[in-house]
């Protein structure tokens, strides 16, 4: 009975931390890291997003914004490849540090916003979130599924294997990779939905089908419309119970005409309206607890305008996820409405 009472208290504490984080304040965590893939420059993503006016934009929202700066990633002197996976210890160490930072932020009552960096960082971001909110669900908005294992990955790059580390269903398919001894899978395949897929490797396609993972390719979005896609997504994840949402958003989910400064662009991506609608619908649930915005690479922009447009789009995505509305500032409208005696005119 004592053990049961202790467990009950622990779970209640964890639930309270998740509830507070969704309403109280926002923590910005910069993760300037690029070793999960081979193209340098993505480590400058956090600075580019901040320079595009992130903090100023978020300061217009209704809750405090705390920018905790950038994490300081120390790289091992020697980091030999494992199989054909480059920098395994470096990536593992970085994600362990990030997991601790995200866990601390959410435990302190913040909604965590991680600025990448490459998408291998989601390993630590989602794992740190799960420490505080073990019943979380994950929405992965990306051109790529990032669910390769070392055996199925054509490149070996860990930014294309992030989800495989998380899934309990793939535990027997993932070898013990140096640098990840701290990491244990924590996510069920039923707790995950992909949106925006259009460049999926053969091995990943087999994994998606065999595990029955819910996903929406760009063809599905064309066929169903983004409104229906979001209805099905949120019903799939939240119909049984309300629980914290982790949104992991790769900027390459957008069409390259909108987000050219990124490492693995794929034609035929999300429009601006589709991407923002996704984030607006997630915000409307009131359940967003943590978010990643990754793969903004300023070095790969053909010119300053390309970099600015990509970074500004990242700011729009984050602000929309946190409540910025295309319908205008609701709080101001309510104050004006309360000052009017003829409310009938306001309904026009």
- Looking at the predicted structure, is the pLDDT value of residue 19 above 60? no
> What is the pLDDT at residue 6?
46
Contact 39, 300 (CB under 8 A): yes
Q: What percent of the chain has pLDDT over 90?
A: 84
- Looking at the predicted structure, is the pLDDT value of residue 182 above 70? yes
Confidence of residue 74 (pLDDT cuts 50, 70, 90): confident
Sign of CA dihedral 272, 126, 319, 284: positive
Sheet holding 137-141, edge to edge: 65-70, 25-31, 110-116, 288-294, 245-250, 137-141, 192-197, 214-217
Query: What are the structure tokens assigned to 177, written together?
Result: 């990779």
The overall average pLDDT reported for the chain is 90
Contact 73, 97 (CB under 8 A): yes
Alpha helices of 239-271 — where are they, by DSSP H?
A: none
Report the topology of domain 21-327.
Answer: 3.40.800
| Least confident among 46-50, 302-306, 329-333 | 329-333
Confidence of residue 11 (pLDDT cuts 50, 70, 90): very low
Say which residues have a Cβ less than 8 Å from residue 308's Cβ, sequence separation at least 6: 52
Residues forming a β-bridge with 82: 85
> What is the pLDDT at residue 344?
34
- Looking at the predicted structure, is the pLDDT value of residue 10 above 80? no
Confidence of residue 5 (pLDDT cuts 50, 70, 90): very low
Alpha helices of the chain — where are they, by DSSP H?
A: 2-21, 45-51, 54-58, 88-107, 122-132, 162-166, 202-211, 218-224, 226-238, 272-284, 304-321, 330-338
Catalytic residues: 119, 142, 144, 146, 159, 250, 252, 295
- Angle subtended by helix axes 88-107 and 122-132, to nearest 10: 30
> What is the pLDDT at residue 17?
54
pTM attached to this predicted model: 0.89
- Looking at the predicted structure, is the pLDDT value of residue 203 above 50? yes
Confidence of residue 234 (pLDDT cuts 50, 70, 90): very high
- Looking at the predicted structure, is the pLDDT value of residue 62 above 90? no
Query: What are the structure tokens assigned to 131, written together?
Result: 């420490």
Domain residue spans in the chain?
21-327
Rama region for 82: left / alpha / beta (φ>0; ψ in -120 to 50; rest): beta
> What is the pLDDT at residue 7?
42
């Amino acid at each position: 009975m004592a053990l049961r009472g202790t467990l009950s208290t622990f779970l209640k504490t964890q639930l309270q931390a998740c509830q507070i984080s969704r309403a109280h304040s926002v923590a910005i965590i910069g993760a300037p890291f690029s070793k999960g893939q081979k193209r340098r420059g993505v480590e400058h993503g956090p600075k580019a997003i901040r320079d595009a006016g992130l903090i100023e934009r978020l300061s217009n929202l209704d809750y405090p914004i705390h920018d905790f700066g950038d994490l300081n990633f120390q790289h091992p002197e020697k980091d030999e490849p494992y199989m054909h996976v480059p920098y395994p210890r470096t990536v593992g160490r970085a994600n362990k540090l990030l997991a601790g930072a995200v866990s601390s932020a959410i435990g302190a009552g913040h909604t965590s916003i991680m600025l990448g960096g490459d998408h291998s960082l989601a390993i630590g971001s989602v794992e740190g979130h799960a420490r505080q909110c073990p019943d979380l669900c994950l929405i992965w908005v990306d051109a790529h599924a990032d669910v390769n294992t070392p055996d199925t990955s054509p490149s070996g790059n860990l930014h294309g294997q992030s989800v495989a580390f998380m899934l309990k269903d793939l535990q027997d398919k993932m070898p013990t990779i140096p640098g990840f001894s701290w990491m244990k899978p924590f996510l069920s395949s039923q707790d995950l939905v992909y949106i925006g897929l259009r460049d999926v490797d053969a091995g990943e396609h087999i994994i998606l089908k065999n595990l029955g993972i819910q996903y929406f390719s760009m063809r599905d979005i064309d066929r169903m419309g983004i409104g229906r896609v979001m209805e099905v997504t949120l019903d799939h994840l939240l119909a049984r119970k309300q629980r914290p949402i982790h949104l992991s958003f790769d900027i390459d989910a957008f069409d390259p005409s909108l987000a050219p400064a990124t490492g693995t662009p794929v034609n035929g991506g999300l429009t601006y309206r589709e991407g923002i609608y996704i984030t607006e619908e997630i915000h409307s649930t009131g359940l967003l607890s943590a978010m990643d915005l990754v793969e903004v690479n300023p070095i790969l922009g053909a010119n300053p305008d390309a970099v600015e447009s990509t970074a500004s789009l990242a700011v729009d995505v984050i602000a929309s996820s946190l409540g910025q509305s295309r319908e205008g500032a609701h709080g101001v409208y309510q104050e004006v409405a309360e000052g009017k005696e003829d409310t009938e005119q306001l309904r026009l």
